[in-house]
Structure 1
Amino acid sequence: MPDLVARLRAAGCVFAEEEAALLESAARSPEELEVLTRRRIAGEPLEHVLGWVDFDGGRVAVEAGVFVPRQRTAYLVELAAERLTPEATVVDLCCGSGALGLALARRLPGLTVIAADVDPRAVACAARNLAAVGGTAVTGDLDAPLPDALRGRVDVIVANVPYVPSAAVALMPPESRDHEPRGTVDGGADGLDLLRRVAALAPRWLRPGGALLSEVADGDQAEAARAAYAAAGLTARLDHDDEREATVVTGVRSAAASRRH
């Protein structure tokens, strides 16, 4: 154990002791531990090495090439859960591993969850995660694969879209920059390309009073995101959690919007 901790610390792992314990618990033999350790030392995200991440109090399976949910995003889950009952329907767009839909279904057993992502690898991972809660995952660009029967009936859309401005991607930690698909973090020139598309489509799917929630960066981007939601006809607000440094923009479909769409 001390040798393993020293190797991880030398490789730049800030929480070397915790990571060493996790790697040892995951390995079924000394040989496998060595393989896992070398992968981590080479810079592969710990979550990909382990095959899971602890998110919102439960494990979520992740794998190479799939975005790893960030701990701050549990704030979005908390805000979304406040708007739901166990009989509600949730759509998880840009779902990645399906972590948001899974976390909500764990909080509210009986919830109907449909997740969608353009990447087949992510959808396969999400399908495995959501199977335990009766959810489904479909492949396609944003809302393209959603069944028409959901139009105007969705209670909450969670869309953890990429929101890092293109010029800032190079400044991200190498674990994300080098091991997660660029499309899962790069949000275009100002980081809001996909958010604007999601805001524009959301009123077609939300029931009156239903809400769209996305995570954004605090400050100017958050204000621009709120404006994009408002431009789509949603009543928009911002919430911020100082401890987790998390900002969420929420847009609610009004009764007036329901008549227009």
Structure 2
Amino acid sequence: MGDTTREPDFAGGFAAAAASFAALDDPLWDPISTAAVLRAHPRFDELVLDACSGDGASAIPTAELVGVGGVVDAVDFAEPLVDLARERAGERMPQLRFHVADVTSWEPTGYDLVQCVLGVFFFDDMDAGTRHLIERAHPGGRVAITVWAEGALEPLPELLVSALPEDAASELGDLTSPAIDTAGTPGSLAQWLTGLGLVQVRAEAVQRHLDLTPELAWALVLGTGLRLVLGELDEEAVSGVRERYVAALEERGVTSIDITTLIAVGRRRG
């Protein structure tokens, strides 16, 4: 969400939001992850790093594709999300290994495929963090990065900020857009990743819209990075934000939103 005037607690925020995050599996995370995995094309017996793995939406289907001869390291900093992923996976895939860790300091290398679905945005330094991911692949190995497209989720961030108490809104800085400023189109995403060490990068937009109900519109606040906008508001204040936010959606006639993602796949420079 860009530079901020405060340091958002991403790990704490997503730990608190684990149940709300999982509630979006069917409408949001699973279809986005399916599209990402399809393009990353995990293969039988491959060694894969699934970075910012959340509750397993991309790691689990990847583990199914690499089979018992492969390995998927699923890494996320939010332990409650990792616990949810373990529950989803059960005991049926010994090739799927879960780790509670900061992937920007993950040391193992030599992966055939490194993939990250909607995670690089949360790195303190997106360039350094994404470069670190690229360097986890072996030379010539594949790297697949999924980000939000320019305009995704609009106008939810704007309407949410407008629904905040005045003193809370003034502290937000630029914590409003989920898209990466320098990678909001397929071309800019490919250019950015090429500059970080990938070659033969192909990027495309996967267009999708999501029909909204008031309940789903609020679930998108609680279960995505938009939750960080609520900061340290107490329960009464959050209730007021929800009421004003839903009213603003109705007033603007917002019945669907763009959830287009950009997916880029390239190879680590040898």
TM-score normalised by length of structure 1:
0.54
Q: Contact between 2:141 and 2:268, CA under 8 Å: does it hold in 1?
A: yes
How many equivalent residue pairs? 165
Q: Contact between 2:51 and 2:119, CA under 8 Å: does it hold in 1?
A: no
1:242 positional shift: 4.3
- Uncovered stretches (5+) of structure 2, i.e. residues with no partner: 1-18, 151-182, 210-259
Residue 247 of structure 1 corresponds to 262
- Uncovered stretches (5+) of structure 1, i.e. residues with no partner: 1-43, 56-67, 164-186, 256-261
| Selected match of 1:233 from 194, 197, 210 | 197
| Selected match of 1:115 from 63, 74, 78 | 74
Q: Contact between 1:199 and 1:228, CA under 8 Å: does it hold in 2?
A: no
Q: Contact between 1:154 and 1:205, CA under 8 Å: does it hold in 2?
A: yes
1:155 positional shift: 0.9
Residues 45/202 of structure 1: CA separation in 2 closer, same or farther (3 Å cut): closer
Residue 205 of structure 1 corresponds to 136
| Selected match of 1:161 from 99, 118, 124 | 118
Residues 140/246 of structure 1: CA separation in 2 closer, same or farther (3 Å cut): same
Pairing 1:73–2:38 present: no
| Selected match of 1:124 from 83, 93, 98 | 83
Residue 140 of structure 1 corresponds to 101
| CA distance in 2 between partners of 1:242 and 1:136 (Å) | 31
| CA distance in 2 between partners of 1:54 and 1:89 (Å) | 27
Deviations 1:119-163 (A, max 9, x none): 11112222333443111111121243x4x4x32x10111111347
Residues 123/254 of structure 1: CA separation in 2 closer, same or farther (3 Å cut): same
Root mean square deviation of aligned Cα: 3.0
Letter in 1 for 2:149: D
* Greater relative contact order (Cα < 8 A, sep 6+): 2
Matched position secondary structure for 1:138: strand
Residue 167 of structure 1 corresponds to none
Q: Contact between 1:160 and 1:215, CA under 8 Å: does it hold in 2?
A: yes
Identical-pair percentage = 16
1:196 positional shift: 2.8
| CA distance in 2 between partners of 1:137 and 1:221 (Å) | 30
Letter in 1 for 2:32: R
Q: Contact between 1:92 and 1:159, CA under 8 Å: does it hold in 2?
A: yes
Whichever of the two has the greater Rg, that structure is 1
| CA distance in 1 between partners of 2:22 and 2:55 (Å) | 12
Residue 104 of structure 1 corresponds to 62
